[in-house]
Structure 1
Amino acid sequence: LDHNPIFEALSYVWGDPTPIDTIVIDDIPIKIPRELQILLPYITYRIKTCQIWIDAMCINQTDDAEKGAQIAMMGRIYSQARNILSWLG
């Protein structure tokens, strides 16, 4: 954020946060909840060339210290996003 990256931020309804699927990004497996399993194909089909900040994927959900630090920064993350995409389910 200090270098002013250009990105979109996703705001969505979490629903049941229990991970039900795993995706792989840069050879790293990431568990995602059902809402993201439904949403990701929709977003990636329509938005092909930008970076999207998605809390469940950008925050290490197994690291409480990182989660706390990132949650504290969410206001700044959303305010610096070029656009905020909203998904209500």
Structure 2
Amino acid sequence: MAGQIYIPLPTADSIRLLRLAPGSNDDHITCELEIFSLNKAPTYEALSYVWGNPQPAASILNRGLAQTVTPNLEKALRRLRQPDRERVIWADAICINQEDIHERECQVLLMQAIYNQASKVLVWLGDDEFGQAEKALRVINLASVEKWASLRWLFERPWFSRTWIIQEVAFADSIIMIGQ
């Protein structure tokens, strides 16, 4: 399947960008990958997230072909998708051919530039059915126990456990946190 979805990157500074098609919340995620020289890439946003548990696997349509992604990435793409316009995103699990070790090694060397050149870095903290992350980010008066608990809960999110987040956020010009 990887051979059908991934065309080899032509140069050392090439990257793939994901064109996320518009759709409603219930629509299947559809997208396509395009290759660009990093220096000539269109405006894009980089996604920072935790891959999470790969099971049960989720599926998106990439140029009409089914591509397996982690449930957490599928949720992030669903949340990021606009109803009326496409969105151009760089997300490592899709934009890098994970089955090609040489490509992965080369793309890791470009990570600083990829995140630095992104118009925004979108931080996906995951589902937040109780609104705790939003509460934590809005905390101004940290005196109450309840508000401290919300802040602690925010920093216990899986995204904060990743070493890569430091690089991803440090090189970003603009950061937007997303999640429900």
TM-score, length basis structure 2: 0.45
| 2:50 equivalent among 10, 13, 16 | 13
- CA shift at 1:40, angstroms? 1.5
Residues 74/17 of structure 1: CA separation in 2 closer, same or farther (3 Å cut): farther
Matched, 1:81 2:123: no
- After superposition, the C-alpha distances for 1:4-45 in whole angstroms (9 at most, x for unaligned) are 421000001222245702211113432101211222211114
* Structure having the higher Rg: 2
- After superposition, the C-alpha distances for 1:39-84 in whole angstroms (9 at most, x for unaligned) are 2211114783330111111011111111111111111100000011
Higher RCO (CA-CA < 8 Å; seq separation 6+) = 1
TM-score, length basis structure 1: 0.84
Residues 37/61 of structure 1: CA separation in 2 closer, same or farther (3 Å cut): same
Query: In structure 2, what is the equivalent of residue 3 of structure 1?
Result: 40
Greater strand proportion:
1
Residues 50-61 of structure 1: pairs in structure 2 closer than 5 A: 50-61=87-98
Query: In structure 1, what is the equivalent of residue 170 of structure 2?
Result: none
Counterpart of 1:75, as a letter, is Q
Residues 16-27 of structure 1: pairs in structure 2 closer than 5 A: 16-17=53-54, 20-27=57-64
User: Within 2, Cα distance between the matches of 1:47 and 1:59?
Assistant: 27
In percent, how many aligned pairs have the same letter? 39
Query: Is the 8 Å Cα contact of residues 19 and 31 (structure 1) preserved in structure 2?
Result: no
What is the root-mean-square deviation in Å for CA atoms of aligned residues? Answer: 2.0
The count of aligned residue pairs is 89
Counterpart of 1:50, as a letter, is R
Counterpart of 1:42, as a letter, is R
| 1:65 equivalent among 102, 124, 141 | 102
Residues 34/69 of structure 1: CA separation in 2 closer, same or farther (3 Å cut): same
Structure 2 gap ranges (5+): 1-37, 127-180
Structure 1 gap ranges (5+): none
Matched, 1:39 2:88: no
